[in-house]
């Protein structure tokens, strides 16, 4: 019955995308390369962390001065309501730029200065309360365990009351 339904009856499929609310956050960029001796086929990565909103573009400048653009539309959401994205390349990455924040590979720092409009490390590391976050400590587990035991006890008591009522009803009807 359901397999015969066609698109004309029900219309186009609906894609639901849930995006969190938040304030604009600049990315922290890192250029990562394989450790030790590696073959030329190992991927090089520009990692952008802690940025919001998701719709940004990452621009990689490769070893041959060729630019490659990456869309961050499929970036992963972290528990802090910011996004993470990794831009991969088979060639060496000289520069990585995203939203006005730039990062140069360690070998290229002599001819390239970091043009960062992002906040400094002292601001990034400041203590900010997280929205919808709960701090757990030992007393929270104690309260949770006590509540679970009380609820379990009430369920057993209720089940016994129902069982005895059924037995007495059956006894009254049969005898």
Domain 2-120 is of which CATH architecture?
Answer: Sandwich (2.60)
Q: Where are the domains of the chain?
A: 2-120, 137-175
Q: Would you write out the chain's pLDDT as a tens digit for each of its 175 residues?
A: 455 555 566 667 777 777 777 788 888 888 887 776 666 667 788 888 888 887 778 888 887 888 888 888 888 888 888 888 888 888 888 888 888 777 877 654 444 444 444 443 434 444 455 555 555 555 567 888 889 999 999 999 999 999 999 999 999 999 8
Report whether 130 contacts 56 (CB < 8 A): no
Residue entry with tokens 């600049």: 26
Half-sphere exposure of 1 (CA within 13 A, CB side): 0
Whole-prediction pTM: 0.50
Q: List the structure tokens of 17.
A: 């995308």
Report whether 118 contacts 77 (CB < 8 A): no
Cα–Cα distance measured from residue 89 to residue 64, given in angstroms and rounded to the nearest whole number: 12
Q: How many residues does the chain have?
A: 175
């Amino acid at each position: 019955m359901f397999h015969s339904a066609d698109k004309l009856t029900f219309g186009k499929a609906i894609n639901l995308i849930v995006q969190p609310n938040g304030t604009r956050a600049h990315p922290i960029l890192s250029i990562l390369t394989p450790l030790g001796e590696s073959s030329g086929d190992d991927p090089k990565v520009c990692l952008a962390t802690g940025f919001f909103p998701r719709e940004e573009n990452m621009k990689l400048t490769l070893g041959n001065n060729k630019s490659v653009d990456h869309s961050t539309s499929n970036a992963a959401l972290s528990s802090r309501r910011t996004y993470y994205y990794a831009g991969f390349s088979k060639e060496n990455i000289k520069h990585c730029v995203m939203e006005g924040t730039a990062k140069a590979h360690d070998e290229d720092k002599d001819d390239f200065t970091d043009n960062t409009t992002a906040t400094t490390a002292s601001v990034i590391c400041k203590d900010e309360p997280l929205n919808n976050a709960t701090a757990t400590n030992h007393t929270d587990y104690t309260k949770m365990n006590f509540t679970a035991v009380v609820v379990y006890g009430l369920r057993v008591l209720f089940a016994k009351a129902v069982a005895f009522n059924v037995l007495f009803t059956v006894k009254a009807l049969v005898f």
